[in-house]
């Protein structure tokens, strides 16, 4: 997200006030940002697939603090905080065993459709779109019509809106500014690690999350968060189980031994070339994926990573850290010189590296 933010954040009093309030508790901001793993990888992937701004992945940060189990006083639920009426309109199933509003895959799909519809209805204006996401399309239209009748501007900043909505959009803009300029504000963003992203295991039978927790190092609380749609903490309904990549292979084999799984492990990010992803990753042959590792590389036990260049990095420090030669890094990335800058992504081939 940091590498793709393309928003000019206005320095008006409302944005400044929200930013100052957030920065009074930097540890709280960092905690919520960390909680966004592992959901944010999938959400950003889906936003990019639908040609939407990646900054929209910040909506759950405000709506639910990235807690799929969050429920508001207005009965909104899940990461995206769908109220029941909107959930029904956008096809999110709710019954005694499954609440799709809390399911990462279903709720993200519906949220994207809702955001697309709102943005089309407000002629591509993202500030009005975000305001409508918070207050409802009708409330924003009435505010626009009221200003039109008085001959007043109809942009977001000129509208008279509910107090919550008056804070909502400036808060998102303030968060964008904090993320974009995190070093200036002394905020430590979580490191990206692909192995923390979720993968999907399709189940063939009902099974309790408590039993699955016994098969892996994931706590029941964590497992319940990743699979919050299962109201009774039992996998049923869509029969898909979401677990972090790093636990997937071991868990899959244990479930397979009891005939509880239907298919191979499915990566939620399988349609993204990993060479373009700003995180390190490792592979397991039992997981099907598109990656920068070729079949011949696997035969030679080659491990490749995609490394995101950070502030202060140099080819010397990167080469020293991974015990490879600078000349190797230059060759693997078709670089003509050793200059790299923050945000560059380098392919590093660990297995075939020449010893120092």
* Residues with active-site annotation: 63
Give the pair of three-digit tokens for residue 102: 């809390």
Give the pair of three-digit tokens for residue 347: 């392919």
Give the pair of three-digit tokens for residue 81: 């905080």
Rounded to the nearest 5°, which phi and psi values hold at 304? -110, 150
Residue 233 to residue 210: CA distance in whole angstroms:
8
3-state SS class at 181? coil
For the chain, give the number of residues: 356
Residues with Cβ within 8 Å of 114's Cβ and at least 6 positions away in sequence, in order, are 86, 90, 133
Compute how many other C-beta atoms are within 10 angstroms of the C-beta atom of residue 147.
16
Rounded to the nearest 5°, which phi and psi values hold at 66? 55, 40
Compute how many other C-beta atoms are within 10 angstroms of the C-beta atom of residue 158.
11
Instruction: Report which DSSP code applies to 305.
Output: E
Sign of CA dihedral 63, 69, 75, 80: positive
3-state SS class at 80? coil
- Find tokens 């399309």 and name the residue: 137
* Strand spans (E) along the chain: 198-202, 207-208, 234-235, 240-244, 266-267, 304-308, 345-349
Residues with Cβ within 8 Å of 298's Cβ and at least 6 positions away in sequence, in order, are 283, 285
Rounded to the nearest 5°, which phi and psi values hold at 190? -65, 145
Residue 47 to residue 57: CA distance in whole angstroms:
8
């Amino acid at each position: 997200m940091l590498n793709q933010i393309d928003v000019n954040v206005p320095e008006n009093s409302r944005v400044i006030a929200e930013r100052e309030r957030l920065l009074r508790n930097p540890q709280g901001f960092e905690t919520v940002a960390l909680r966004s793993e592992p959901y944010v990888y999938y959400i950003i992937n889906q936003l990019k697939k639908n040609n939407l701004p990646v900054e929209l992945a910040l909506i759950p940060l405000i709506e639910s603090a990235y807690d799929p189990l969050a429920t508001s006083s207005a009965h909104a639920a899940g990461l995206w905080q769908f109220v029941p009426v909107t959930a029904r309109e956008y096809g999110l199933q709710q019954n005694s065993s499954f609440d799709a509003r809390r399911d990462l895959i279903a709720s993200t799909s519906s949220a994207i459709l809702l955001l697309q519809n709102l943005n089309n209805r407000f002629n591509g204006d993202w500030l009005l779109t975000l305001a409508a996401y918070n207050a409802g399309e009708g409330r924003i239209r009435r505010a626009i019509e009221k200003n039109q009748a008085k001959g007043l501007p109809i942009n977001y900043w000129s509208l008279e809106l509910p107090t919550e909505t008056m804070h909502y959009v400036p808060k998102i803009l303030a968060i964008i500014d904090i993320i974009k300029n995190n070093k200036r504000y002394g905020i430590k963003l979580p490191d990206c690690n692909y192995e923390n992203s979720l993968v999907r295991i399709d189940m063939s039978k009902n099974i309790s999350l408590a039993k699955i927790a016994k098969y892996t190092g994931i706590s029941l609380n964590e497992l319940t968060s990743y699979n919050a749609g299962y109201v009774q903490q039992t996998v049923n309904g869509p029969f898909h189980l979401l677990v972090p990549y790093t636990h997937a292979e071991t868990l899959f084999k244990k479930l397979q031994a009891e005939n509880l799984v239907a298919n191979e492990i499915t990566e939620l990010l399988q349609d993204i070339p990993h060479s373009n992803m700003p995180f390190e990753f490792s592979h397991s042959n039992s997981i099907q994926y598109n990656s920068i590792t070729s079949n011949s590389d696997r035969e030679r036990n080659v491990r490749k990573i995609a490394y995101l260049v950070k502030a202060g990095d140099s080819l010397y420090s990167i080469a020293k850290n991974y015990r490879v030669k600078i000349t190797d890094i230059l060759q693997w990335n078709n670089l003509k010189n050793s200059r790299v800058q923050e945000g560059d992504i380098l392919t590093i081939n660990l297995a075939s590296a020449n010893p120092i």
